[in-house]
Structure 1
Amino acid sequence: MTAETDLIKLYSGRILELASNIPNTGRLDAPDATVKKRSPLCGSTVTVDLNMRDGVVTDFGQDVKACALGQAAASVVGGAIVGQTPEQILAARDALHEMLKHDGPTPSAPFDGLEVLRPASAYKNRHASIMLALDASVEAINQTQTAQSV
């Protein structure tokens, strides 16, 4: 089987379905934090807006300009992040990284939909795009927590 055929198989129906139906697209009017992340390899970008209250994400918006894999990851994140604590989101980001880099376990619920991206572990040039939504979310949470502690 050729590398091109493997790459085509990577873009499964489920990944394409997630990529075409990304929740929480659009920007928030008054976010507590905004972070834009870009994958230097492919140019994909994700901009995340979020609000936090009482230690959980209460509102989330994202502008996703990424490949289908980055869009699929943003779709799972967008559908799962509201109501989650910083610790849960950080754990999901770290688990996704380990899943892609070292065949680690799937991120815990509600981020377990990221399992669909496991086949992308063989394509290191796609990892940064897949990580964008969670990387931006973790950075936005850190900004929010820093601002709230001042």
Structure 2
Amino acid sequence: MIDDLYSARILTLAANLPHSGRLSAPDGTGERVAKLCGSKATVDVVLDAEGRVADFAQDVKACALGQAAAGVVGEVVIGATTEELQSARDAMLAMLKSGGEGPEGRFEGLRALKQVADYPARHASTMVAIEATLDAVNQALTSRTSLAGAA
């Protein structure tokens, strides 16, 4: 059964981590750690004038499942809106916890992790990348709002 969890597709996604590293001047940074296993994602973003992700980098130290989720996020995140990220995060949680189908649209590739639903101890590591990305975008938007208010 564990072999199903670590399918060839998952291992391929885990091996391909787009936008690996850190940005030198991010608008926002997010970090998430899965307490049970220690999987960690640190994400930097730069937003465009409309608040979409214009640049992205991720430093991920995670199990194959966390790496696979980060691989999917890294492939499609450029151009994403806060709403798309929130929807993907919510759909991921529903997929893992209550039998949902998973994200749609640009983040549909996260559905490759649907079998993780059967392994509750792995849920948090699967979520670190999308949650850190959303945190980074929210931090960037908050900073932008604070700067605009001060002007």
TM category (shorter chain) comes to over 0.9
Match of 1:112 in 2: 108
Q: Identify which of 71, 87, 93 aligns with 1:91.
A: 87
Match of 1:144 in 2: 140
- Counterpart Cα distance in 1 of 2:16 and 2:137: 24
Query: Which runs of no fewer than 5 residues in structure 2 stay unpaired?
Result: 147-151
- 4+ residue segments displaced more than 6 Å: none
Q: CA deviation at 1:7?
A: 1.3
Match of 2:131 in 1: 135
- Counterpart Cα distance in 2 of 1:106 and 1:80: 16
Q: Does the aligned pair in 1 maintain the 2:27–2:44 contact within 8 Å? A: yes
- The number of residue pairs the alignment matches comes to 145
Q: Give the AA of the match of 1:22.
A: L
Q: Identify which of 59, 62, 65 aligns with 1:66.
A: 62
Q: CA deviation at 1:36?
A: 1.7
Q: CA deviation at 1:102?
A: 0.6
Q: CA deviation at 1:121?
A: 0.2
Query: Which runs of no fewer than 5 residues in structure 1 stay unpaired?
Result: 1-5
Q: Please tell me the root mean square deviation across aligned C-alpha atoms, in Å.
A: 0.8
Match of 1:3 in 2: none
Q: Residue 16 in 1 paired to residue 15 in 2?
A: no
Match of 2:38 in 1: 43
- Counterpart Cα distance in 2 of 1:36 and 1:124: 21
- Counterpart Cα distance in 2 of 1:115 and 1:88: 15
Q: CA deviation at 1:8?
A: 2.2
TM-score (normalizing by structure 2): 0.93
- Counterpart Cα distance in 2 of 1:21 and 1:115: 17
Q: Give the AA of the match of 2:39.
A: S
- Counterpart Cα distance in 2 of 1:138 and 1:106: 17
Match of 1:25 in 2: 20
- Counterpart Cα distance in 2 of 1:30 and 1:147: 13
TM-score (normalizing by structure 1): 0.94
